[in-house]
C-alpha cells in the first residue's frame, strides 16, 4: 500500500470529483439549458449558467450524450468518462458556473484523443482569469 503524501495537497484536493460537483437533478439541468448561454465546438455544446451567490462555490458539471448519436452504451460511457476526467482536472481553475456538456453531432470515427482535446478546449474557454 502506498502511504506517501502528495507534495502539493491543494492540487490533490482540487483533483477530486465528489457528488457535490455534479449536476444530478432535472431542475439543475433545466436551469442551465434555460439560461441559453453556450460555447460551440465541432462535436459538443457547452451550456453554462452563473451560480448564484447563495449557492455553494465551485463549478459543477452535467453530461448529456444522446442515444440517437451513439447507439452503443460503451461509446456513450466513454464520452462521459472523458468529460468528467477533463472537468476533474480543470475544476479548480473554472469559474463558479454550472456546466452541461452535450454531444451535438455524431463523431465519426470515435477518436477519444480528438474528443478529449475538444472538451479541454471548451472548458479552457471558461477558466477564471484571476486564477
SS3 track for 31-70? HHHHHCEEEECCCEEEEEEECCCCCCCCCEEEEECCCCCC
pLDDT at 105: 94
Alpha-carbon dihedral sign for residues 69, 71, 72, 76? positive
Domain span at residue 79 reads: 19-124
75 in a domain, yes or no?
yes
9 in a domain, yes or no?
no
The backbone torsions φ and ψ at residue 91, rounded to the nearest 5 degrees and listed phi first, read: -55, -40
1 in a domain, yes or no?
no
94 in a domain, yes or no?
yes
7 in a domain, yes or no?
no
Q: What's the CATH code of the domain at 80?
A: 3.30.230.10
Single out the residue of 66, 61, 46 nearest to residue 107, CA to CA: 66
130 in a domain, yes or no?
no
131 in a domain, yes or no?
no
pLDDT in tens, the chain (131 residues): 444 545 555 556 666 677 788 888 999 899 899 998 999 999 999 999 988 777 767 889 999 999 999 999 999 999 999 999 999 999 889 888 999 999 999 999 999 999 999 999 999 999 866 54
Amino acid at each position: 500500500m502506498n502511504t506517501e503524501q502528495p507534495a502539493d495537497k491543494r492540487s490533490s484536493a482540487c483533483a477530486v470529483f465528489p457528488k457535490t460537483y455534479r449536476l444530478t437533478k432535472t431542475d439543475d439541468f433545466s436551469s442551465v439549458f434555460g439560461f441559453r448561454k453556450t460555447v460551440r465546438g465541432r462535436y459538443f455544446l457547452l451550456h453554462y449558467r452563473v451560480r448564484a451567490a447563495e449557492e455553494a462555490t465551485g463549478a459543477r458539471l452535467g453530461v448529456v450524450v444522446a442515444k440517437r448519436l451513439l447507439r452503443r452504451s460503451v461509446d456513450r460511457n466513454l464520452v462521459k468518462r472523458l468529460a468528467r476526467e477533463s472537468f476533474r482536472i480543470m475544476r479548480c481553475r473554472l469559474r463558479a458556473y454550472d456546466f452541461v456538456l452535450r454531444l451535438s453531432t455524431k463523431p465519426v470515427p470515435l477518436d477519444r484523443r480528438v474528443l478529449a482535446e475538444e472538451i479541454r478546449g471548451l472548458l479552457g474557454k471558461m477558466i477564471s482569469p484571476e486564477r
